[in-house]
C-alpha cells in the first residue's frame, strides 16, 4: 500500500485531472476514483494512531443513574460490598470509531450505573479489524473514558448514597476486554 498518502487522505498517483488527454492517465484517473473512497484496512491500534491520525470527536453519556435501596436507607455504605461489572461496546462506521463503556456498581445500599462513549474521527474511511478495534479500546479509549467514569461515580455516590465512592486508579491494561468477555461490536 505504498501508493497511499496518509497525510492528505488520497492516492498520490491519482493526481490527474479529467482534462488530461493522455489515455493511460485518464484510465489511471478512472481507476483511482473508484478506490479513493474505499476504506483503508487498519490492523492494529498503533497503525490507527500513527498512520491514520484520528482525533477525539466527542463524549456521549447514555446513562447516569444511582438508586438508593429504600430498605437500606440510613445504613452506611460498606465499601467491601461494592461489586463492579463492566461491559464494552465497539463501533466502527466509515471514518467514525466509537468505544462505549458501561459500568454497573452494586453495593449494600444501592446501585449505580454509568454508560458513556468516546467517539473518534479519522480523516478518511477506515475498516478496523476486530483485533485492532479491541486493542485500540483496551489501550487508548478506555483510558480516555476512565476519568469521566471516575468523576461521575464519585459525584453520584456522594449525592445519592451520602458517601463518596472513589474508583481506584487503573493502570493501562488493568481493565481489559477480550472477544470472549462482555464485548459487543458493530461494524
What confidence tier does 26 reach under pLDDT thresholds 50, 70, 90? very low
179 vs 155: which has the higher pLDDT: 155
CA distances from 19 to 11, 25, 27, 33, 104 (A): 18, 10, 12, 15, 60
The set of cell numbers assigned to 94 is 466509515
Distance between CA 184 and CA 87 in Å, rounded? 8
Total residue count of the chain as it appears in this document = 187
Q: Strand pairing of 126-128 and 40-42? A: parallel
Residues 6+ apart with CB under 8 A from 21: none
pLDDT per position as a tens digit, 43-52: 889 999 888 8
For the structural domain made of 40-168, what CATH number should be given? 3.10.420.10
List the chain domain ranges: 40-168
Q: What is the pTM of this model?
A: 0.73
What's residue 185's pLDDT?
A: 52
Amino acid at each position: 500500500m505504498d501508493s497511499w498518502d496518509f497525510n492528505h487522505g488520497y492516492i498520490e498517483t491519482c493526481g490527474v485531472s479529467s482534462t488530461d488527454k493522455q489515455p493511460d492517465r485518464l484510465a489511471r484517473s478512472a481507476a483511482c476514483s473508484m478506490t479513493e473512497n474505499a476504506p483503508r484496512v487498519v490492523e492494529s491500534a498503533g497503525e490507527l494512531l500513527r498512520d491514520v491520525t484520528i482525533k477525539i470527536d466527542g463524549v456521549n453519556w447514555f446513562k447516569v443513574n444511582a438508586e438508593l435501596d429504600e430498605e437500606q436507607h440510613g445504613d452506611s455504605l460498606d465499601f467491601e460490598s461494592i461489586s463492579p461489572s463492566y461491559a464494552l461496546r465497539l463501533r466502527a462506521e466509515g471514518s467514525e470509531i466509537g468505544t462505549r463503556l458501561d459500568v454497573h456498581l452494586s453495593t449494600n445500599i444501592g446501585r449505580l450505573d454509568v454508560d458513556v462513549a468516546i467517539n473518534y474521527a479519522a480523516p478518511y474511511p477506515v475498516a478496523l479489524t476486530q483485533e485492532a478495534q479491541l486493542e485500540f479500546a483496551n489501550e487508548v479509549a478506555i483510558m480516555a473514558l476512565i476519568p469521566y467514569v471516575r468523576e461521575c461515580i464519585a459525584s453520584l455516590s456522594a449525592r445519592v448514597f451520602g458517601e463518596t465512592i472513589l474508583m481506584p486508579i487503573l493502570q493501562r491494561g488493568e481493565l481489559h476486554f477480550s472477544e470472549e468477555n462482555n464485548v459487543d461490536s458493530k461494524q
